Amino acid sequence: MDIGERQNLKNEIEGIVDLILNDYSQGRDVDQLDVFNQPDRDSVVDIVKKLLRILYPGYYRDKVYRSYNDSNRIAIIIEDVIYNLQKQMAIAFRHTNEYENASDDTLTCGARCITLEFFRKIPHIRELVDTDLQATFDGDPAAFSKEEIILSYPGLLASTINRIAHELYLLKVPLIPRIMTEYAHSVTGIDIHPGATIGRYLMIDHGTGIVVGETSIIGEHVKIYQGVTIGALSTRGGQTLKGVKRHPTIEDNVTIYAGASILGGETVIGHDSVVGSNAFLTTSIAPGTRVSIKNQELQFNNGNF
């Protein structure tokens, strides 16, 4: 490339840079330039990974924190997460009406209080997670051990992260809970909104493609297979539906097999029911009901197609 060509390329690049920078001046939401005005996704994901070490202290290895004393090792991780979570939380609170015009000191104080309140819930979260682990082990004959489930099952990972995010959701922390569950979604294929209320002993078998909406209520001892949707009938109303119960209620001891769709805020799946594969439900069913699809006719052609 000669001098003239290099100059022409430089001019072209400068023109493109000016074009894009000028496009940022239109005042749209996508024109936000301040990268420090919202939580950092990578930091939130790092917090999730460290919280997993706190919930399962003997299963996730640390590459940074090394100590011969397990109590000291866990204490260092807890302090690290408290510091970084409150930092991200303070940024997130800027997106709420309550803290929109608050001082930095007020934001920091509010974030610190809620972070500490969240950490007091860790024993409760671990209690719920332990029930999910037990349900998964009891319900899967292919499980070699509970260690195998903790280290390799996407269903338990997704439900564990959701248990964390749900507590932050209940504390009205913006943005961060959804970043956490979308991280779980990205690595497991399981999409559970942090607002969903889930009882003890949840088992997610295989898991890929499961969707659970924000206002879903799931009881205890529920087993969900891959490809299940617990969703809304329609979201055409958009933001006008905020706060409305749009997703179903699943009562205790229900099994939902692969590919089933259960939709609507008024839909209740009665306790001890079984919903068969590929069923599509938009109305409630009584307790103890078995829902199945009549076998479709199969055709076999052994000749030419």
CA atoms within 13 A on the CB side of 116: 5
pLDDT for residue 304:
59
**Those residues with Cβ within 8 angstroms of residue 127's Cβ, 6 or more apart along the chain or in another chain:** none
Q: Which of 197, 165, 170, 169 is nearest to 181 (CA)?
A: 165
Domain coordinates in residue numbering, the chain: 32-190, 196-292
Q: Are strands 203-205 and 229-231 parallel, antiparallel or unpaired?
A: unpaired
pLDDT for residue 228:
98
pLDDT for residue 299:
80
pLDDT at 200 over 70: yes
Q: Which two tokens stand for residue 37?
A: 């005005």
pLDDT for residue 97:
81
pLDDT for residue 298:
78
pLDDT at 95 over 90: no
DSSP class of residue 217 equals E
pLDDT at 303 over 80: no
pLDDT for residue 58:
83
Q: What is the 3-state secondary structure (H, E, C) of 226-283?
A: CCCEEECCCCCCHHHHCCCCCCCEECCCCEECCCCEEECCCCEECCCCEECCCCEECC
Q: What Cα–Cα distance (Å) separates residue 165 from each residue in 85, 161, 168?
A: 12, 6, 5
Q: Which of 198, 122, 118 is nearest to 156 (CA)?
A: 198
Q: To the nearest whole percent, how much of the chain has pLDDT over 90?
A: 73
Instruction: Tell me the pLDDT tens digit for each residue of 57-67.
Output: 987 766 655 55
Which CATH architecture group holds 32-190? Orthogonal Bundle (1.10)
Output the average pLDDT for the chain: 91
Which CATH architecture group holds 196-292? 3 Solenoid (2.160)
Reported for 194-197, long-range contacts at CB under 8 A and 24+ positions apart, including other chains, are 194/162, 194/165, 194/166, 194/168, 194/169, 195/166, 195/169, 196/162, 196/166, 196/247, 197/166
pLDDT at 109 over 70: yes
Per-residue pLDDT, averaged over 290-304, amounts to 81
pLDDT for residue 103:
85
**Cβ pair 252, 272 in contact under 8 A:** yes
pLDDT for residue 239:
78
Residue 272 is which amino acid? D
Q: Would you tell me how many other CB atoms lie within 10 Å of the CB of residue 272?
A: 16
Top pLDDT among 271 and 34 is at: 271
Identify the helix (H) or strand (E) that includes residue 159: helix 154-170
Instruction: Tell me the pLDDT tens digit for each residue of 141-183.
Output: 999 999 999 999 999 999 999 999 999 999 999 999 999 999 9
pLDDT at 90 over 90: yes
CA atoms within 13 A on the CB side of 28: 6
pLDDT for residue 243:
79
pLDDT at 68 over 70: no
Establish whether domains 32-190 and 196-292 are of one fold: no
Global pTM?
Answer: 0.88
